[in-house]
Amino acid sequence: MASSLTKDAAAQGNPASDGKTFFGHPRGLATLFMTEMWERFSFYGMRALLVLYLISGGPDAKDGSQGGGLGIPQGSALSIYAVYMAMVYLLAMPGGWFGDRVWGPRKTVIVGASVVIAGHVVLAIPGQTFFVGLAMVALGSGLLKSNISTMVGHLYNGPSDKRRDGGFTVFYMSINIGSTAAPLVIGGIGQSVNWHLGFGIAAVGMALGLVQFLFGTKHLDPKSSQVPTPLSTEERNGWLRKGLFWAGLAVVFYAVIGFSGNFNEKWLLVPLGIIGILVPFVVLLRIKRDKDLSADEQSKVSSYVWFFVAAAAFWMIFDQAGSTLNVFAEKNTADTIFGLSFPSSWLQSVNPIWVLALAPVFASVWVALANRSKEPKTTAKFTMGMVMIGASYFIFLLPITLSSDGTKVTPLWLIGIYCMQTIGELCISPVGLSVTTKLAPAKYASQMMGVWFLANTAGDSVVNLLGQAGADLSGKGVLIGEAVLATLAGVIIFLNRKRINGQMNDVN
């Protein structure tokens, strides 16, 4: 989608603005839009390949598919994928902390993008360093994610700015432009030509995003360069000591396990899964118990917990698009539609295509209803999103049943399922980003964006632990359980909407 800069005399809440706007929003949104687009291009391209690369050459790979992967069993590959996704979003929390207390959002984005580029370069080099590169991409993405979303919030005149939800929806479209192109380019080349060439193209994409960000920083709000609550020298030294202590403890622990000859994947994946569930709980509890917060801020944090728990159930299902649904597309779905042949990774573009088609409709509807004072409250939007994601997995049971005898089902099943999930996504994700910035206490501005991404961490960690416990993540029993849980979360939000709305005070 081409940028559209038009003259607009209305104040945009951006001191760096020259009077031009980006779809009626502050011009700085264009800079953040393009940066996020390229970062998502690199991330979703690699994500489209990850599970397929892990099982390639192994017993669970599709007959006749490209070799050269790691040959890992499917169950382990799905758990590794879930842990990777969980860590990407878990690291958004310390990424927000660095933005708040060390570098400021703008510098943290620059550092994060640089680490992502380096990680993809490592992935592009065949050898034993694959998981090192994977860890680097997760770390860099964590540094970047929460801070770039915070800078979007900086562009508007506070939570009462009616353009705010629409702005986040436009910003959300950048994610889907990048993630639409990524499977078609990176996924297609990596799956059909060479895995590592695909990972290398992902590095190029992030490099383009970093260059664009550096040239466009003049259009951002000056707050993006500021460190809201900088660390004192004493605090800095204290955090350094704690970091070295825990890092040293982990090294010693895993050295003992390794030298004893007892190390296997569970020693890594299970602790990471437990951490992924405990950390969100501890972080929310710490914020809730902070005595520096006013009564109004405390009340808003209480309302936020409801949305967080529901979002965790949502992402538990939604993030399996790159794992459970991706493997189903590879092994159980026909690779032609209307006479056109394509690699299975291309189906990873279907969800973002639906977003590009439906996001403008949703944004327009929210604004039109807001102008008439009839826009659904956040609780209603979340209820709709949870019901849709739950229903998508109930529908998924049908093509699973049809393909159980080895029949290849039409890709139209997945296209329809992704449509349902996209409708749910548009009721949850941009709305959740926006409500996070509205409900966040001033003391935790960037960190609260990290908290929002911890919902993904919690959901993905549950999937990982289910896999480590021996559950068949592609089996009907697990899928039904996830569908029921998500739907139930939406019903609970709806039944408690009056209480939640009251806790939100002046935020809708």
CATH class for the domain made up of 22-250+276-504: mainly alpha
**444, 100 in Cβ contact below 8 A?**
yes
Report d(CA 95, CA 41) in Å as an integer.
20
* Coil vs helix vs strand at 340: strand
Three-point CA angle 195, 316, 437, nearest 5° = 100
| pLDDT tens-digit profile, the chain (508 residues) | 333 333 333 333 444 445 566 767 787 888 888 898 999 999 999 899 999 999 999 988 888 888 888 999 999 999 999 999 999 989 888 888 888 888 988 999 999 999 999 999 999 998 878 999 999 999 999 888 878 877 887 888 766 676 776 777 788 778 878 989 999 999 999 999 999 999 999 999 999 989 989 988 888 878 888 888 888 888 888 989 998 998 899 889 888 888 888 777 888 899 999 999 999 999 899 998 888 888 888 998 999 999 999 999 999 999 999 999 999 999 999 988 888 889 999 999 999 899 888 988 888 888 888 888 888 889 999 999 999 999 999 999 999 999 999 899 999 999 999 999 999 999 998 888 788 888 888 888 767 777 888 999 999 999 999 999 989 998 999 999 999 999 999 999 999 999 998 888 877 6
Beta-bridge partner residues of 337: 340
Torsion of CA 27, 30, 35, 40, to 10 degrees: 140
Q: How many CB atoms lie within 10 A of CB 334?
A: 15
> What does R_g of the chain's alpha carbons equal in angstroms?
22
Q: Where are the domains of the chain?
A: 22-250+276-504
Q: Which two tokens stand for residue 239?
A: 């955090």
Q: What are phi and psi of 333, to 5 degrees?
A: -115, 140
Model confidence pTM above 0.85: yes
Closest by CA to 430, choosing from 346, 502, 358, is: 358
Host H or E run for residue 314: helix 295-318
Beta-bridge partner residues of 341: 336
